[in-house]
Amino acid sequence: MVFRNIRERFGIDDLDYKESLTRSQPLPDDSSGKSGAKFYLSSDRLFIIKTLTSEEVERMHSFLKHYHPYIVERHGKTLLPQYLGMYRLTVDNAEHYIVITRNVFSNHLSTHRKFDLKGSTVDREASEKELEKDLPTYKDNDFVKQKLKVYIGDEAKQKLMETLTADVEFLTKLHLMDYSLLLGIHEVERGEQESQREKENEQENACQESDESETGSGLDNRNYTTYNTPPDSPNAIAQFVREHSLQYEGGIIPELDIYAIPSCETAPVKEIYFVAIIDVLTHYGVKKQAAKAAKTVKYGSNVDGISTCDPEQYAKRFMEFMSKAIE
């Protein structure tokens, strides 16, 4: 009942939601976190499916008691994860728990760069292993070294900071910390070039297919399905979005890209930013206090940058970093 009400608050239709998750096989995603959780994308890329440990399921239950009234009070206006459902799957007598959230990134605009920002500076750069990925997740020190800013202008910054402040106060009250700001950057010009190339490739493939069918080039069409996609399949949806997205300002479709903020007129290059808070279930308990003590011994007590600190201190540092990063 709670999840159904939450989905309603976030404007998600139950039938569409079920369709997205069950129509086709979810796609594996390689962004596994430290917890070892596995991530999948729904076939239309609108939702993220994440595996949970039984301990996380317990945390989720206690979090929901506070999260649901907060979402109602805020009329769904939040940058916190949009938790839409939690399920237990039993396969060969083994139990698996999964949680569904809305995808922060767009399902039709590519993400060209991705950052996980905590406002902390100790051990906060992408590892060599991470940098080998097609889309590595950069961290705070990488963001600072690359001299990056989120250029959205005063009015959008004020609105964003108001929402961030409310969300962070809510997390602090619940004694939660170690959350991150997930930032995705879509470079508009690069995206348009990619889209153009994709169109040209599709046209080329279509020409080749019609040539082959005319010459009967030995391909048995019963074995090679090169027919047009049925109108209601995920590929057809993607094609529809591609064809129509440029009619929207900067390619943003408001109903789909709810986390998108376009760069302001004065930005050095035209970009679209996707911004949300993630990983919000870490409680500042005995384990985290011990981790803070260990890091303090290693780096000294005056190091302000260690990511493990009490919720009030964590929130203050997080907000200060975000305020500087956004212009």
Active site residues: 50, 178
R_g of the chain computed on alpha carbons: 22
Sign, CA dihedral 133-138-141-143, equals positive
Residue with tokens 């949009």: 82
Nearest to 52 by CA among 13, 81, 23: 81
CB–CB of 98/49 below 8 Å? yes
Nearest to 295 by CA among 309, 282, 283, 314: 309
Please spell the DSSP secondary structure of 200-224, one letter per residue. Answer: HHHHHHHHHHHHHHHHT-S--TTTS
CA–CA distance, 301 with 10 (Å, rounded to integer): 43
Q: Which residues pair with 278 in a beta bridge?
A: 180
Residue with tokens 């060599």: 128
CB–CB of 80/64 below 8 Å? no
User: CB atoms < 10 A from the CB of 107, how many?
Assistant: 19
- Strand 83-91, strand 47-52: pairing: unpaired
